[in-house]
Structure formats: C-alpha cells, structure tokens
C-alpha cells in the first residue's frame, strides 16, 4: 500500500516567547514492513535542526528557535510504502530488551477493575497471541469510539472508568492489560487510515505492540479492533504516549499556548 501523509502542528502563544526547544518524533524509518519513499519536515521560522535518536532508539529532530516568537508551524509530509504483515513487526530498529516493556508508568498502571477485565477477557485463549487478540477485541467492544483530541495525562485506569475512549486511551489500557497478563507491551505513535472517520484527524494515531516469544513484536489496535497492518505507519515507540509524543519540549516565556493539529492520511495513486 502507498500512503500519503500530511501532518501540521501549529502553536500560538499569548505572549512572545524568548526561546523554544522541541523534540520532534515525526520521522518514520525504513523497516522490512515499510519503506519511506519521500519525507519532508518544514518549520515556518528560522530554526536550528539537529537529527539524532532518543533513548528508545526512535529517530528524532531537535528544534531550537530563538525569539521573540508568537507562533510556529511544524509540518511533515511524504509517502510511505507498506507491506502486509498480519501485525508482526519485522526489521525495526531495536535498542532495548523486551523485558523493559513490562515496566508500568503512571499512564499505563492498571487498577483492580482493569486487571480483572483483562483476565476475564482472555479466558479461553489457547496461547499468548490468542489471549492478546481476545483482549484487543474486548477493549474495542467495551468503549464508544471518541474521535476528539486525546486528553493529556489521562491514565489507563481513569480512561477505563469512562464510556468513551480515544486511541491513546485504548492503547494505554491494552498495555496495562498485557502487563497484567505478564506480557511486555509498549505504545506506538504513527499514522493510520483507519484511525478516524474521513481523511482528516485531530491527532496522529496511537496503538500498542506486545512481545510474543518466537514471533517478536506484534501490533494491536484496540481502537479499530484489529492488528495493525499495511494501513499503518510506525514512527516511534515508548513505554507510553508521553514517551512517544510527536512533539515535546519547552519554551521560555510567559503566557499561554494554543495548539492546532491536522493530520491527513490517504492512499496514493500508484
């Protein structure tokens, strides 16, 4: 599949900022499952850009802007070729052992209700992959899809108590449930055609990967109730959404900020 991606993030500040420092996790990598045909990053002001990697091995771009600055637009666009994988990840850049991803964070810690739900959901599963698929489908069936922008800082346990859930909420709940079953799991940020209705989205997509012996990392999207496949583009992985955030950083200056995000994911003509 050939996917065309266009992702714009605009920050507006109520008072000019003296300095901005941002870490951008916006660049997908070539794997056995996806090939970057073209990819461009654009910033609408004078900025210093430095490429590198974070502690999880994700490609990053550090962005430095000297003020005064009252707004900034960060845009990426390109085309990615993907293969059918049935959810199994092949050839990704891995720098950490799977066991690290048994670690819970405040965003992925399970409470009693979520742990019980996960254990009940997998009853009847004959192997690890089967149990994870049952968990994925059970989470998908439990919640009404919330197509709004994710709420920053909402934990898996907090989201589990609500009737609606965003992709980020459900990925965190899947990770917490997998941990309760003793399975390493992590958050993935990226893009997908199936994240929201229509082509435009208020945020990049998020899903989960769980580690299965003899298979490796397997991708699950509880928001769609499916394994992530050729309709998905991986960009970054981490213990939770905060660690895989597409844009994160700091600013020096007073006042408030507003953020607008628009993401378009569509199939490209061959």
Instruction: Please check the confidence at residue 201 and state whether its pLDDT lies above 70.
Output: no
Pick the residue with more confidence: 183 or 46? Answer: 183
Mean residue pLDDT across the chain: 91
pLDDT band at residue 269 using 50, 70 and 90 as cut-offs: low
Report the pLDDT value the prediction gives residue 197, as an integer from 0 to 100. Answer: 56
Beginning with the edge strand found earlier in the chain, give each strand of the sheet holding 232-238 in spatial order.
216-220, 205-212, 185-192, 232-238
Closest C-alpha among 142, 211, 227 to residue 179: 211
* pLDDT digits 0-9 by tens, 32-48: 999 999 999 999 988 99
Report the pLDDT value the prediction gives residue 236, as an integer from 0 to 100. Answer: 97
Closest C-alpha among 204, 207, 212, 213 to residue 248: 204
β-bridge pairing 59-82 and 2-24: antiparallel
Report the pLDDT value the prediction gives residue 99, as an integer from 0 to 100. Answer: 96
Q: What CA dihedral angle connects 50, 54, 58 and 62, to 10 degrees?
A: -20
* pLDDT digits 0-9 by tens, 230-260: 989 999 999 999 999 999 989 888 888 888 8
Instruction: Please check the confidence at residue 270 and state whether its pLDDT lies above 80.
Output: no
Mean pLDDT of 182-209: 82
pLDDT band at residue 204 using 50, 70 and 90 as cut-offs: confident
Instruction: Please check the confidence at residue 217 and state whether its pLDDT lies above 60.
Output: yes
Instruction: Please check the confidence at residue 198 and state whether its pLDDT lies above 60.
Output: no
Give how far Cα 144 sits from Cα of 12, 20, 151, 169, 224, Å. Answer: 32, 37, 16, 12, 11
Q: How far is CA 154 from the centre of its chain?
A: 15
Q: Which two tokens stand for residue 27?
A: 């660049």
* pLDDT digits 0-9 by tens, 113-159: 999 999 999 988 789 999 999 999 999 999 998 877 788 889 999 99
What string of DSSP letters covers 169-192? HHHHHHHHHHHHTT--EEEEEEEE
Report the pLDDT value the prediction gives residue 147, as an integer from 0 to 100. Answer: 79
pTM (predicted TM-score): 0.93
CATH dotted code for 85-238: 3.10.620.30
Q: Are residues 205 and 192 in contact, defined by beta-carbon separation less than 8 angstroms?
A: yes
Q: What is the DSSP letter of 155?
A: -
Q: Which two tokens stand for residue 170?
A: 């459900």
Which one of 2.60.40.2250, 3.40.50.720, 1.10.10.10, 3.30.420.280 gives the CATH number of domain 2-80+247-267? 2.60.40.2250
Where along the chain do its domains lie?
A: 2-80+247-267, 85-238
6: β partners? 77, 264
Report the pLDDT value the prediction gives residue 266, as an integer from 0 to 100. Answer: 83
């Amino acid at each position: 599949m050939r996917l065309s991606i266009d992702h714009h993030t605009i920050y507006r500040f109520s008072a000019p900022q003296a300095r901005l420092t941002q870490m951008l996790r916006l660049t997908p990598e070539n794997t056995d499952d996806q090939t970057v045909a073209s990819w461009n990053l654009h910033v609408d002001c004078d900025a210093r850009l430095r490429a590198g990697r974070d502690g999880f091995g994700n490609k990053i771009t550090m962005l430095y802007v000297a003020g005064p600055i009252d707004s900034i637009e960060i845009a990426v666009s390109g085309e990615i070729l993907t293969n059918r994988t049935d959810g199994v990840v092949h050839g990704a850049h891995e720098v950490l052992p799977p066991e690290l991803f048994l670690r819970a964070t405040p965003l992925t810690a399970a409470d009693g209700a979520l742990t019980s739900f996960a254990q009940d959901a997998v009853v009847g599963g004959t192997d690890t992959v089967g149990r994870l698929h049952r968990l994925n489908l059970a989470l998908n069936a439990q919640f009404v899809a919330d197509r709004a922008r994710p709420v920053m800082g909402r934990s898996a346990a907090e989201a589990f108590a609500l009737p609606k859930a965003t992709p980020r909420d459900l990925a965190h709940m899947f990770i917490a449930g997998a941990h309760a079953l003793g399975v390493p799991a992590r958050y993935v940020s990226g893009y997908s055609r199936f994240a929201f209705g229509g082509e435009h989205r208020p945020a990049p997509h998020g899903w989960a990967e769980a580690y299965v012996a003899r298979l490796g990392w397997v991708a699950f999207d509880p928001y769609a109730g499916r394994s992530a496949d050729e309709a998905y583009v991986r960009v970054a992985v981490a213990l939770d959404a905060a660690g895989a955030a597409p844009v994160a950083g700091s600013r020096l200056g007073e006042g408030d900020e507003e953020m607008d995000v628009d993401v378009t994911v569509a199939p490209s003509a061959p």
